[in-house]
Amino acid sequence: MKMLINVAETVVADALRGMAAAHPELAVDVENRVITRADAPVAGKVALVSGGGSGHEPLHGGFVGPGMLSAACPGEVFTSPVPDQMVRAAAAVDSGAGVLFVVKNYTGDVLNFDMAAELAEDEGIQVAKVLVNDDVAVTDSLYTAGRRGTGATLFVEKLAGAAAEEGMPLERVEAIARQVNENARSFGVALSACSTPAKGSPTFDLPAGELELGVGIHGEPGRERRAMMTSREIADYAVDVILQDLDPHDPVLVLVNGMGATPLLELYGFNAEVQRVLGERGVPVARTLVGNYVTSLDMAGASVTLCRVDEELLRLWDAPVRTAGLRWGM
């Protein structure tokens, strides 16, 4: 596989150096692998800290900024960051109002964020944690006990981030983050495997003419493999699986997310089919976001995330945000 890198060993550090050069509004500590808002800590504001393995960009570093995260901790590719990174990030952004850790449900992330929370509290930082586990494809996977954390992470970080930006206290910001996670479900489909820089070749075998239904963002197996389907058929399958687990009595936010190698031409076409299915099922759509947000390196494919919203959550979604990966209203 051809990759636009120097060597696999420096790919994360090189990316962080490039991010620092492109975004002076961020403070990027390349050596310690911590990305923070340059204006952090913000007096009186709850800080949001998240992180995870690299390779899912713009998640999480691309979501640092006003209206979303205060800091992000990038690990090596598909590898959890370490507790020292998280503690350093929490200390850098804590204003005394407390810190909310947003944790995707992968075993390494959960263990390391738990340890970091204990260490941060030993340093006098008030910490709350929210676990994101929105993927309805499988219950357990190679990296996870329980459901995986995927596209709903964006919704949690945006909505809780807006709440924090408004000056809500830690308990309320945490409650909103939990509400969002409980109201969100995701399902992903892979058309091709991804290739990590270290391996330099596909991480799993997906024969030509087949797709993986319910794939994870690290290439974990899903529910089943089938012969290639049309966009219409994939949308029918994915949305139906989500709606079997989510009773949308309220309007929903829709995220049609690319896995990294699927062009917008295809994603918008897929979104048309997702919207068709939701219309046929009588599900009202409040807002829609289409693009590559929670990716898996160069995997071709897409995921769908639906999140029920009430008036408050919709207001928080529409609130201004200014990050490298998501911005409006500013």
At 106-146, the pLDDT tens digits run 999 999 999 999 999 999 999 999 999 999 998 877 667 78
- In angstroms, the Cα distances linking 120 to 73, 82, 107, 231 are 15, 13, 20, 46
Tokens representing 298 are: 């160069």
The answer to whether 18 and 57 are in contact (CB under 8 A) is no
Alpha-carbon gap, residue 27 to 164, rounded angstroms: 20
pLDDT score of 91: 98
Query: E strand or H helix at 50, and its extent?
Result: strand 47-54
Total-model pTM:
0.97
Separation between Cα atoms, residue 162 and residue 171, nearest integer Å? 14
Which two tokens mark 58?
A: 């713009």
Six-digit token string for 187? 């399902």
The segments of the chain whose pLDDT lies below 70 read 142-143
Q: Which of 23, 60, 218, 249 is catalytic?
A: 218
pLDDT at 146: 87
Instruction: Give the domains, in start order, of the chain with CATH numbers.
Output: 8-183 (3.40.50.10440), 184-321+324-328 (3.30.1180.20)
Q: How far apart are CA 30 and CA 19, in angstroms?
A: 10
End-to-end CA distance of the chain: 40
Q: Is 204 helix (H, G, I), strand (E, B) or coil?
A: coil
The letter for the amino acid at 246 is L
Listed as own residue / partner, the contacts of 73-78 with beta carbons closer than 8 Å and 24 or more positions apart are 73/33, 73/34, 73/35, 73/49, 74/12, 74/16, 74/33, 74/35, 75/12, 75/33, 75/51, 76/12, 77/11, 77/12, 77/53, 77/196, 77/197, 77/198, 77/297, 78/53, 78/54, 78/196, 78/218
Task: Tell me the helix, strand and coil percentages in the chain, rounded to 5.
Answer: 35, 25, 40
Does 60 participate in catalysis according to the annotation?
Answer: no
Whose tokens are 């944690």? That residue is 129
CA angle 303, 271, 214 (to 5 degrees): 20
User: 153: buried, middle or exposed (CB in 10 Å: 19+, 13-18, 0-12)?
Assistant: buried
Residue 98, pLDDT score: 98
Between CA 72 and CA 116 the distance in angstroms is 13
Task: Return the number of other C-beta atoms located less than 10 Å from residue 233's C-beta.
Answer: 12
- Nearest CA-CA partner of 64 in 327, 330, 323, 326: 323
